[in-house]
Amino acid sequence: MSLLALEQLDVRHGQLQAVRGISLAVREGETLALVGANGAGKTTLLRAVAGAHRPAAGRVLLDGADITAVPAHRRVALGIALVPEGRRLFAGMTVEENLRVARANGRPGAWSVERVLEVFPMLRARFKAKAGSLSGGEQQATAIGRALVANPRVLLLDEVSLGLAPVAVERVYQCLEAVIAGGATVVLVEQDLARALRVATRVACMLEGSVVLEGAAADVTREQVTEAYFGLGRGQPA
């Protein structure tokens, strides 16, 4: 059975329908990469899974249980954690406080503040520093750590490489791959196609709110994804 399942999910921003009837399933231990152009609805989809947006129609299932109506803060305790786009740290609070405030509301489990420091050693020196004063890479590490300390069953990562220097991206991904290798279930949004295909076990390409291509990361080619990404195969002008 799949750990996370979306059934015919519709999400709207007022008049705009950002996600149109998407059905997806993620099995335990799987890493699903969502790719697609800006505005394809990837962020909205992740936020709907995390509970930040209430879907207009459809269902979100976690381990078979319908959580569509469960508010965001209770989904954390059920095992869904989102690393939001743009990191969204509590800038006036220290790294330690950012981690502790998330730990206090998370599930019990193997991830602790100390373990986050082991996985992201660059945070150790900045532990007592205000999150707002960190470099982009350090902030991203804190944001991922803040999600991990909640011991999620499903970790949602939204554009963790956005706005980071290439070196910082490399370092963050090294740590992430260690987390994924440890058996985590991950849904990630990533602009860098090559990186997404390397990290993920499965790929879903979104276009204008729908999934237009889905498959095992090993099976889909770069060309197929590129075609789906721009909607080239649809035979009609965009």
Partner 1 sequence: MIWLNQVIQGVMLGGYYALIACGLSFMFGVMRIINLAHGDLAILAAFLVWAIVDRSGMSPFLALALVLPLMGALGWLMQRAMLERSLRSGVLVPLLTTFGLAIVIQNLLFLQFGADTRSLAPAIGDLAFESWSIGSRIYIGHLAGLTFLVAVLMLGALQLLLTHTPLGRSIRAIAEDPDTAELVGIDSRRVYAAAAAIAVMTVAVGGTFLAMRATFGPYAGPAQLIFAFEAVVIGGLGSMWGTLAGGIVLGVAQNLGAQIAPNGFLIAGHAVFLLVLGARLARQRLKGTP
Contacts of 16 (CB under 8 A, 6+ apart): none
Task: Count Cβ neighbours within 10 Å for each residue of 146-183 and write b for 16 or more, e otherwise.
Answer: bbbbbbbbbbbbbbbbeebeeebbebbbebbeebbeee
For residue 143, the minimal CB distance to partner 1 (Å) is 10
**Contact region with partner 1 (CB under 8 A), list: 57-65, 70-78, 113-121, 189-197:** 70-78
Q: Count residues contacting partner 1 (CB under 8 A)?
A: 27
Q: Is 46 helix (H, G, I), strand (E, B) or coil?
A: helix
CB atoms within 10 A of CB 77: 13
| Position 217 contacts partner 1 (CB under 8 A) | no
Phi, then psi, of 178 in degrees rounded to 5: -65, -40
The two three-digit tokens of residue 166, written as one number: 């290439």
Contact stretch for partner 1 (CB under 8 A) within 84-92, 112-120, 170-178, 179-187: 84-92
Integer Cα distance of 175 and 180 in angstroms: 9
* Alpha-carbon span 17 to 30, nearest angstrom: 28
| Least spacing, CB of residue 72 vs partner 1, in Å | 4
Question: Binding residue for partner 1 (CB under 8 A) from 45, 82, 141, 197?
Answer: 82
Among 105, 133, 174, 226, binds partner 1 (CB under 8 A): 105
Residues 137-166 touching partner 1, rule: CB under 8 A, are 146-147, 150
Residue 193 binds to partner 1 (criterion: CB under 8 A): no
First to last CA, the chain: 37
Per CB under 8 A, the list member of 27, 100, 130, 195 interacting with partner 1 is: 100
- Which residue's CB is nearer to partner 1, number 150 or number 168? 150
Nearer to partner 1 by Cβ, of 146 and 171: the residue is 146
The only residue of 33, 102, 154, 175 in contact with partner 1, by rule CB under 8 A: 102
Select the residue interacting with partner 1 from 57, 90, 109, 215 (CB under 8 A): 90
Give the one residue of 9, 18, 33, 51 binding partner 1; rule: CB under 8 A. Answer: 51
Residue 101 found at the interface with partner 1 (CB under 8 A): yes
Instruction: Output the CA angle 128-89-97, nearest 5 degrees.
Output: 35
**CA 84, 22, 41: angle at the middle one, nearest 5?**
40
The binding site for partner 1 (CB under 8 A) comprises 50-52, 71-74, 76-77, 81-82, 84, 88, 90-93, 97, 100-102, 104-106, 146-147, 150
